[in-house]
Structure 1
Amino acid sequence: MGNPTVDEITAFQAGYTENFRTFVQRNGLPDRPIIALLAGSRKQEIKDNLPDMIRAVSAFPDYQLVLAGAPGISYDYYRQYVGNSSVKILFGETYPLLSHAKAALVTSGTATLETALFKVPQVVCYHTPIGKVIAFLKRHLLSVKYISLVNLIANREVVRELVADLMTVDEMKRELGLLLQDVDYCNRMQQGYGEVAVRLGEVGAPCKAARLMYALLHQK
């Protein structure tokens, strides 16, 4: 049937021609490679994840950290967690940002799938205050192996998931180092992204769904 996210990204890419230099100049960014940060769309997610994400990226001074601001979250709310760091916050620029990012730290959700479709190497990060409890349930009771859409669709680990007690600054640093420096590691991830794209199907999911529903409703 396909997936509407494929349609959205395909349509965006068909009309987006901005190069890296123009993107950074338009947004007042320095001319340095970008690590994108997608820290969730809910305030609790941002509170739980953003501070440690920023600490992890500080170990890579040759890169700039750009945060994709979520709709409905104010600039001031982000500022209390960004503090005096050099993080730049951009609103309404998620797809352009992913078009130019070298790597991304992403909380679970649709953002993991979007990042994969833009072929950006990523690590999925999701901390929770009850991390040890969640980790125990995930290991011993829950039948679902993964939390990210990328891994769920592929039915295997394409991207690393640092969930609950596994999400530490040191683990994020280690994973970012692989994403930025290990070509073979990134190539394997890109191969997995290709598998996900095939499983998602071709462009036109909404139209296909509408036609199918119309046909089913008019069978009699």
Structure 2
Amino acid sequence: MVAGETSGDLLASRLLSGLRSQLPDAHMHGIGGPHMAEYGFVSDFPMEKLSVRGLFEVLAHYREIKGIQNDLRDQLLQARPAVFVGVDAPDFNLGLEAQLKHAGIPTVHFIGPSIWAWRGGRIKKIQRSVSHMLVIFPFEEEIYRQAGVPATYVGHPLAQVIPMEPDQVTARNVLGLKQDNRVVAILPGSRMSELKYNATAFVGAAKLLLQRDPDLQFVAPMAGETRHRYFRELIAQAGLQDVPLLVTDGQSHQALAAADAVLVASGTASLEVALFKKPMVIAYKMMRASWHVLKHMGYQPWIGLPNILAREFLVPELLQDAATPQALADAVWLQLEDQPHRARLHERFVAMHHSLLRDTATESAQAVMQVITDSKAS
């Protein structure tokens, strides 16, 4: 298995939770993180090496990433595993899967690339690379089947992990936050490159929000000690170290449960916020050269998963130059203050949660086991 970032590690762990009980003695290895390790998964390479986002940012690390891909490919071609499962990270995994499938090793891809959003031409590469696709949104199954790629809708793993009604009181107690003062969670991204471009604007927005409500509390969960330290360095360099901010190692779900509103970078985290039924502002900044290329490649007017699933701008999206501290602060303030809007969002997010709820661990594990069985039979 290969998962390339924190969100993939969490998603993959749900599959492993169902698969480990059926394959208790299997050697499960590749690239992954701490959530996967809980099920006996062994990471042959550091997952952080793949956690790079943005066209030019990836190019800067291309030699190292390609080297890891080649080394892993050579290992797997020699070991000939019963199945390879690529978890998201399509730019890394699809190329690896194509070579493995060509060599007769069955390949499963967990989380279909969003060809419905951008880069639809990837379907040809997917056809060459993937024996079976596991999809996490209900409308995706038919898209892949029409393209000749066997697919199974397994629900979104996070819909099972996150409670339908989060316990805000307990979360605030766990984090040491005051019950009577409002909380804003700040999630600038799990990748180092995301922190580099988002952290200063996000914390700058927090400073401005404090001018409107000095009793606001801010919590910023970080994906590990390295990102925690880098985040602190970035806000210190920007002169924002005096903004009162609870920075935690992990505990992102506690932070979201505790929050009244969330400022979040686009990606899987925005869907987590929706599943926690929290008003949010989605924002994203990246290297300017990458932005100029990527902004013309989308098929839809939305980039945030909650908006894509709703097919409308349920929550604001502020991208690149629009994501100034002032604009972010203004948008978050409305999410805090507009009570009818907050009630409507809660209702929509509950419906969204139900639509994504399946026994993902069991259904994804069954699909993988079927691929293994079919491969042995042939």
TM-score (norm 1): 0.82
Alpha-carbon distance change, 171 to 136 in structure 1, aligned in 2, over 3 angstroms: farther
Match of 1:96 in 2: 254
Deviation at 1:215, TM superposition (A): 4.8
Match of 2:336 in 1: 180
Match of 1:134 in 2: 291
> Is 1:164 the equivalent of 2:330?
no
Which residue, 206, 212, 216 being the options, matches 1:63? Answer: 216
On the 8 A contact 2:221/2:251 being kept in 1, the answer is: yes
Deviation at 1:163, TM superposition (A): 1.2
Alpha-carbon distance change, 103 to 135 in structure 1, aligned in 2, over 3 angstroms: farther
Deviation at 1:136, TM superposition (A): 8.3
Point out the more displaced range, 75-84 or 210-219: 210-219
On the 8 A contact 2:172/2:178 being kept in 1, the answer is: no
> Is 1:150 the equivalent of 2:299?
no
Q: Partner letter of residue 202 of structure 2?
A: M
- Indicate the RMSD between aligned Cα atoms, in angstroms: 2.8
Write the mapping of 1:74-113 to structure 2, written as runs, cut at 5 A. Answer: 74-82=227-235, 83-113=241-271
Alpha-carbon distance change, 105 to 63 in structure 1, aligned in 2, over 3 angstroms: same
Deviations, residues 55-101 of structure 1 (Å, cap 9, x unaligned)? 11223322111111113634321211232321110112111111111
Match of 1:196 in 2: 352
Larger radius of gyration: 2
Aligned residues: 212
Match of 2:140 in 1: none
The percent identity for this pair of structures is 27
Alpha-carbon distance change, 218 to 123 in structure 1, aligned in 2, over 3 angstroms: same
Distance in 2 separating the partners of 1:5 and 1:211: 18
Q: Partner letter of residue 22 of structure 1?
A: N
Deviation at 1:190, TM superposition (A): 2.2
**RCO higher in 1 or 2 (8 Å CA, sep ≥ 6)?**
1
In structure 1, the residue corresponding to 2:219 is in which secondary structure? strand
Match of 2:193 in 1: 44
Distance in 2 separating the partners of 1:103 and 1:17: 12
On the 8 A contact 1:37/1:106 being kept in 2, the answer is: yes
TM-score (norm 2): 0.50
Deviation at 1:142, TM superposition (A): 2.7
- Any gaps of 5 or more consecutive residues in structure 1? none
Alpha-carbon distance change, 17 to 68 in structure 1, aligned in 2, over 3 angstroms: closer
Deviation at 1:37, TM superposition (A): 0.6
